Amino acid sequence: MTEALDRAELVVRTIAQTAVDNESYFCELDSVAGDGDFGYSLARGFEIVLSDWDELGHTDVPSLLKKTAVVLSKRIGGTSGPIWGTAFLRAGGSLNDAPEPTGEQVVAAMRAAIEGVKQRGNADVGDKTLLDALVPAVDALEAALAQGSGPAIRAGAETARAAAEGTKGMLAMRGRASYTGERSRDSVDAGAMGVAVMWEAVDAAWKE
């Protein structure tokens, strides 16, 4: 196993475990303006990633991400499956020629994931979705890597948390929450907070 694959496995397993561990919390967030099943759907997909880890059959970073995408697309219900599956698939596809990705290539992969989410969800920053945490977090990661200004993952985590908290007060423009109109302003977006919690967990695991 290469160092790059070892690190990628750490990230994917941490994201998966965080989704499972926070099932109730994510459902609670989603129940304020959504249908309350975000945490359940996410956990059902990522628990299969964990339970079938040894059967994923990945050999490098691109194949790990693409194999994960297949599981999530099949196992996560509702709109979350296609969105999260697309994110992992686009990230993996962008690394086809980079089995040992550099920091710059990792950022490019995350940009590809973002574009996939935008297209699949017909959403953008400002619509009160996971993009409102993911995009600024990736911006912060890229800036920290370019400037060498301390731990880049931590910069992304801190930005993701602040951005997710900032979705409270925003009007939801996509998903079930958009049907509730002004009531959607009463809480943070569950997807955005999910991104923040996962990013923080990756930061903690990376430091260990």
Q: What is the pLDDT of residues 154-190, one digit of tens each?
A: 999 999 999 999 999 887 877 766 656 676 687 899 9
- CA dihedral defined by 173, 161, 109, 72, rounded to 10 degrees? -70
- Residue 36 has a pLDDT of 83
Domain 3-207 belongs to what topology? 1.25.40
How do residues 104-157 score in pLDDT, each as one tens digit? 999 999 999 999 999 999 999 999 999 999 999 999 999 999 987 568 999 999
- Residue 78 has a pLDDT of 80
Both tokens of 105, joined, read 């290539």
- Residue 35 has a pLDDT of 75
How do residues 80-107 score in pLDDT, each as one tens digit? 899 999 999 999 999 999 989 999 999 9
Residue reference for tokens 């196992």: 75
* Contact of 57 with 67, CB cutoff 8 Å: yes
How do residues 48-80 score in pLDDT, each as one tens digit? 999 999 999 999 999 999 999 999 999 887 888
CA distances to 83, 154, 155, 200 from 160, in Å: 18, 10, 9, 8
What pTM does this model have?
0.93
Burial of 69: CB neighbours in 10 Å, binned 0-12, 13-18, 19+: buried
Domain boundaries, the chain: 3-207
From 191, 184, 170, select the one nearest 22 (Cα to Cα). 191
* Residue 47, pLDDT above cutoff 90: yes
- Residue 185 has a pLDDT of 83
- Residue 156 has a pLDDT of 97
* Residue 40, pLDDT above cutoff 60: yes
- Residue 31 has a pLDDT of 87
The whole-angstrom distance between residue 182's C-alpha and the CA centroid of its chain comes to: 26
